[in-house]
Amino acid sequence: MAFSTPISSSYLPRVYSQLSAHEATSETKSRICLSNASSLLQRTLTYKAGFPSHLERRESFNFKVSASVTTDVSTPELPVTPSVVKGDTWSIHKFGGTCVGTSERIYNVAKIVTEDNSERKLVVVSAMSKVTDMMYDLIEKAQSRDDSYELALDAVFEKHKATALDLLDGEELSSFLSILSIDISNLKAMLRAIYIAGHVTESFSDFVVGHGELWSAQILSSVLRKGGVDCNWMDTRDVLIVTPAGSNQVDPDYTESEKRLEKWLSQNPSKAVVATGFIASTPQNIPTTLKRDGSDFSAAIMGALFRARQVTIWTDVDGVYSADPRKVSEAVILNNLSYQEAWEMSYFGANVLHPRTIIPVMRYDIPIVIRNIFNLSAPGTKISRSPVNEIEDKKNLVTYVKGFATIDNLALVNVEGTGMAGVPGTASAIFAAVKDVGANVIMISQASSEHSVCFAVPEKEVKAVAKALEARFRQALSAGRLSQVAVIPNCSILAAVGQKMASTPGVSATLFNALAKANINVRAIAQGCSEYNITVVVKKEDCVRALRAVHSRFYLSKTSIAVGIIGPGLIGATLLNQLREQAAVLKEKSNTDLRVMGILGSKKMLLSDTGIDLSTWKEVHKEKGEKTDLEKFVQHVHGNHFIPNTVIVDCTASTDVADHYHDWLREGIHVITPNKKANSGPLDKYLKLRALQRQSFTHYFYEATVGAGLPIMHTLRDLLQTGDKIVRIEGIFSGTLSYIFNNFVDARAFSEVVMEAKAAGYTEPDPRDDLAGTDVARKVIILARECGLNLELSDIPVQSLVPDPLKGSASVDEFLQQLPSFDTDIAEKQQAAEEAGEVLRYVGVVDVTNQKGVVELRRYKKKHPFAQLSGSDNIIAFTTERYNKQPLIVRGPGAGAEVTAGGVFSDLLRLASNLGAPSC
Ligand SMILES: NC(=O)C1=CN([C@@H]2O[C@H](COP(=O)(O)OP(=O)(O)OC[C@H]3O[C@@H](n4cnc5c(N)ncnc54)[C@H](OP(=O)(O)O)[C@@H]3O)[C@@H](O)[C@H]2O)C=CC1
Ligand SMILES: N[C@@H](CC=O)C(=O)O
Ligand code: NA
């Protein structure tokens, strides 16, 4: 296994120039595609034919020979087992600043160390929290000749004195206080010198800053001794030797460090050692530091030097999460990670370890465990060579992707032109120009057509990069060999990390599928041959949603949908009840999480960041609801939370609300509705809406618009999609009118039966829509358009049952009050039919063959199927090419709260299954 550290941009031109040197001499055309996953831990170049043998090992690169070339940067060899520690079993603990931030916490650390039963223990400590910053501040103040550095130094003294007074007594206390006083007076002298010079050297600064660790190590070791542990403290500057390795990095000199360690241990034998983290010395014995995350690195180096049993990094989180928990609330702690996985995750800002921390322990297969000092019951995350996969036996894709991470504030640069294809040296020239401006290349992608190379750099560096490329390729651009150097700003990277992705077909497909379903556009893709990481570039504003979508798809296998309900009237409220009753079952049985994030009525709305409690929503909406604001509502449901998919369920009968569907679908918001207005409104709007729906991955479902919960749309779509040809659809489409004519018998008053239908919840919010035939006409139009007929509502002749004098009634109440005066008109029609042995039925017809529709009151013989209905039954007969002798008939209750809400609910489940929920 080759050791790798992140490859900085300056390596790229060297890799590419070696390749182009080969290309210039090679007979085979060698460059097809290049790609590096954004972690910079690996770069892969794929060749069409031939392999440049001179690349097998050059300078610091270690190329693997296969169908591809992998470059890793080698680290120095580690020494063989040191004699002094041979046979001893050391365990290493590292405690960061927060772990030793107060007297109480230091005491707690001592307890943890004491309770570790290992034969020998080495404890690496950071400075008490905030002390390192205080020390840097002292230097800053002295350097800028700010006299307050003296007071600031007093504060440092007081902090450590107070801690020692809390924890120590007797000889241990006086000895520490005397050392502390000497250190402080030395520091005073040094800071005075810095003050006078108005300047500080790096070694002076490192010397001053390192005191925080010296004091915390001494205090902890005294506390351990006080508790009966045989313990010494180690100033790691006496042991750990490092050499600068450029760009704020150092390389440990293991051979020299080991020699010094042997000497130190022979002079200071003890069962436990408390060592200072972060600080070290140069080969010339000048104090230095291990730079960023130095204490973790110290612990890892010590782990390697001691061939430790285990290195435990104590921190304030339960372990490594499957994604940033601030962005994905369902992120879970990973019990196990391989070194490579931890490495990749850490690159993407996961709260793991700096990659260089892993290198020393990886060599000797020493596991690192990350644990939470504030939650000892959490087992933490174990990082080792071949982790036992906790979910392996589930045999699903979860096994192969461990976690997800993101990097923001990037820009993509796309260098494009037909003149690039087959021209050796182009990549080398591009990255040489990037290197010249010191920009860091985070990800690279080139399609094998070779017409463009695209790469990501930090946003702040992109201007300089574009300028450098334009200058470098000025001639090619003006000659047209390159068509453009384009910058795509505001991008983010999303990476999926997992060691087993390599050997598993379908991982990328699942990833991209989840992104497509969340309506996320992918701008660029990179995946190295090792496949530890698949990287995609997306727009910054889509990044968190993308992260949630892929996380829930892979890791949780849960389809989470944020639901916004508009119109909590009869149907809306019934749907909310059904959701409440079914939510737990759906979560458990089909891994589907339908979370209602907002409820909006015409006057008030209720919003929640985590999901509305559906057992109390009505009271809370009424009492605590805020003023309705549709835009804010939609933004809230779609934006500010942790669920990747959004659906708006429109349970109003409003045209204004329906007019928003197009915009919502365009924004990636799914729409479900029993409201007929959009599909029966102006034809051009309808066609635009359906065209958008067909083009996008966003869903628009409206089963309950015809026949309420009856599977009418579903049946029709199945017939059409399987290639059947619809000849005619006819039936009783109105639950209200069906109920009325089924019950308008035995000399009952027509108006009385209308009131019953309204009370039963069958009518439209305005029952005149039912009686006037408008509701049926809308259903006829919806079905006709579904069959491909381009009809407007006004194309349908409709026989209204609203008496002419009432057509201008001001309100529903006024209309209902006046209706009884017209009971005799309709009673006469009913009587005439009765006398002929017939019944009245209000029917709708879609005549596909002749491209027209009609809505009217007809008479049917009592034996006719339409005469056999009861309650609010709808009956719809599809005559098709396949069903031409006997029509396909769907019959059942076609109105009412429960069945309609049930139809809407089934659309929600259809959406969930389209978004990846398992079928039941
Ligand atoms: N009843 C049935 O059997 C069937 C009904 N449908 C359809 O279901 C839909 C709902 O019907 P139903 O529940 O009976 O009607 P309701 O009148 O009981 O409920 C309508 C709801 O919509 C709200 N609302 C109206 N306009 C707006 C607006 N502009 N913005 C926000 N909210 C608004 C109302 O709020 P507020 O109360 O504050 O005014 C009310 O909560 C209709 O489209 C109907 O055609 C479909 C099939 C069957
Ligand atoms: N008012 C409608 C309700 C369903 O669309 C009806 O009566 O059918
Ligand atoms: Na239906």
42-54 pLDDT per residue, tens: 444 433 333 333 3
Q: Select, from the ranges 394-408, 440-454, 784-798, the one with the highest average predicted confidence (pLDDT).
A: 784-798
Which residue is catalytic, options 779, 829, 862, 863? 779
ipTM of this predicted structure: 0.99
Burial label for 532, CB within 10 Å (0-12, 13-18, 19+), is buried
End-to-end CA separation in angstroms for the chain:
45
Q: Quick one: pLDDT at residue 552?
A: 80
Q: Quick one: pLDDT at residue 530?
A: 58
CB 552 within 8 A of CB 520: no
Closest CA to 254 of 240, 237, 235, 238: 240
CB 29 within 8 A of CB 422: yes
**567 within ligand 1 shell (Cβ under 6 A):** yes
Q: Give the number of whichever ligand sits closest to the CA of residue 739.
A: 2
**735 within ligand 2 shell (Cβ under 6 A):** yes
Residue 679 CA to ligand 3 centre (angstroms): 14
Q: Quick one: pLDDT at residue 590?
A: 82
Bridge-based pairing of strands 231-234 and 120-125 is unpaired
Going by pLDDT thresholds of 50, 70 and 90, the confidence category of residue 88 is low
Region 255-262: mean pLDDT is 95
* Max Cα distance, the chain (Å): 120
Q: Quick one: pLDDT at residue 74?
A: 41
**656 within ligand 1 shell (Cβ under 6 A):** yes
d(CA 557, CA 918) in angstroms, rounded, equals: 9
What letter represents residue 98's amino acid?
A: T
Q: Quick one: pLDDT at residue 610?
A: 84
Q: Give the number of whichever ligand sits closest to the CA of residue 702.
A: 3
Backbone φ and ψ for 851, nearest 5 degrees, come out as 55, 50
Going by pLDDT thresholds of 50, 70 and 90, the confidence category of residue 827 is very high
Residue 900 CA to ligand 1 centre (angstroms): 12
DSSP string, 308-325: -SEEEEEESSSS-BSS-T
Strand partners of residue 562 = 595, 646
Region 733-759: mean pLDDT is 95
Q: Quick one: pLDDT at residue 85?
A: 52
Q: Give the number of whichever ligand sits closest to the CA of residue 899.
A: 1
- Helix residue ranges per DSSP H, 591-711: 617-624, 630-638, 655-658, 661-666, 677-680, 683-695
Alpha carbon nearest to ligand 1 atom 42, residue: 653
How much is the mean pLDDT over the chain?
86
Share of the chain above pLDDT 70, in %: 85
Q: Give the number of whichever ligand sits closest to the CA of residue 598.
A: 1
Residue 537 CA to ligand 1 centre (angstroms): 42
**770 within ligand 2 shell (Cβ under 6 A):** yes
Query: What number does the ligand 2 atom closest to the CA of 674 have?
Result: 5
| Neighbouring residues of 820: CB distance < 8 A, sequence distance ≥ 6 | 749, 751, 752
Going by pLDDT thresholds of 50, 70 and 90, the confidence category of residue 449 is low
Region 530-557: mean pLDDT is 84
Residue 737 CA to ligand 2 centre (angstroms): 8
In this structure, is the dihedral angle defined by the CA atoms of residues 796, 799, 802 and 804, taken in order, positive or negative?
A: positive
Count CB-CB contacts under 10 A for residue 613.
11
- Helix residue ranges per DSSP H, 437-506: 462-472, 474-479
Region 153-182: mean pLDDT is 97
Going by pLDDT thresholds of 50, 70 and 90, the confidence category of residue 532 is confident
Going by pLDDT thresholds of 50, 70 and 90, the confidence category of residue 826 is very high
**673 within ligand 2 shell (Cβ under 6 A):** no
d(CA 566, CA 571) in angstroms, rounded, equals: 10
**775 within ligand 2 shell (Cβ under 6 A):** yes
What is the rounded radius of gyration, in angstroms, for the C-alpha atoms of the chain? Answer: 37
More confident of the two residues 836 and 589: 836
| 779 has catalytic annotation | yes
Residue 325 CA to ligand 1 centre (angstroms): 38
Residue 765 CA to ligand 1 centre (angstroms): 6
Q: Quick one: pLDDT at residue 487?
A: 96
Instruction: Choose which residue among 775, 781, 842, 891 to substitute to test ligand 2 binding: the one with the highest number of ligand atoms within 8 A of its C-beta.
Output: 775
Answer yes or no: is pLDDT of 58 > 50: no
- At 791-820, the pLDDT tens digits run 999 999 999 999 999 988 889 999 999 999
Tokens of 325: 């928990």
- At 855-896, the pLDDT tens digits run 999 999 999 999 999 999 999 999 999 999 999 999 999 999
d(CA 706, CA 874) in angstroms, rounded, equals: 10
Q: Select, from the ranges 38-52, 454-468, 550-564, the one with the highest average predicted confidence (pLDDT).
A: 454-468
Q: Quick one: pLDDT at residue 359?
A: 87
Query: What number does the ligand 2 atom closest to the CA of 769 have?
Result: 1
In this structure, is the dihedral angle defined by the CA atoms of residues 57, 59, 62 and 67, taken in order, positive or negative?
A: negative
Q: Quick one: pLDDT at residue 63?
A: 30
Answer yes or no: is pLDDT of 169 > 50: yes
Region 123-138: mean pLDDT is 96
d(CA 293, CA 290) in angstroms, rounded, equals: 8
Residue 601 CA to ligand 1 centre (angstroms): 9
Alpha carbon nearest to ligand 1 atom 28, residue: 602
- At 267-296, the pLDDT tens digits run 999 999 999 999 999 999 999 998 766 888
| Neighbouring residues of 821: CB distance < 8 A, sequence distance ≥ 6 | none
Query: What number does the ligand 1 atom closest to the CA of 735 have?
Result: 3
Instruction: Choose which residue among 571, 604, 630, 632 to substitute to test ligand 1 binding: the one with the highest number of ligand atoms within 8 A of its C-beta.
Output: 571
State how far the alpha carbon of 639 is from the alpha carbons of 445, 599, 643, in Å. 30, 15, 9
- At 358-399, the pLDDT tens digits run 889 998 999 999 999 999 999 999 999 876 454 443 444 456
Count CB-CB contacts under 10 A for residue 147.
9
pTM of the predicted model as reported, rounded to 2 decimal places: 0.64
**734 within ligand 2 shell (Cβ under 6 A):** yes
**657 within ligand 1 shell (Cβ under 6 A):** yes
Closest CA to 240 of 192, 305, 319: 305
**765 within ligand 1 shell (Cβ under 6 A):** yes
**96 within ligand 1 shell (Cβ under 6 A):** no
Region 550-561: mean pLDDT is 77
Residue 661 CA to ligand 1 centre (angstroms): 16
Q: Give the number of whichever ligand sits closest to the CA of residue 716.
A: 3
**709 within ligand 1 shell (Cβ under 6 A):** no
Q: Quick one: pLDDT at residue 50?
A: 36
What letter represents residue 359's amino acid?
A: I
Query: What angle do the packed helices 712-721 and 774-786 form, to 10 degrees?
Result: 20
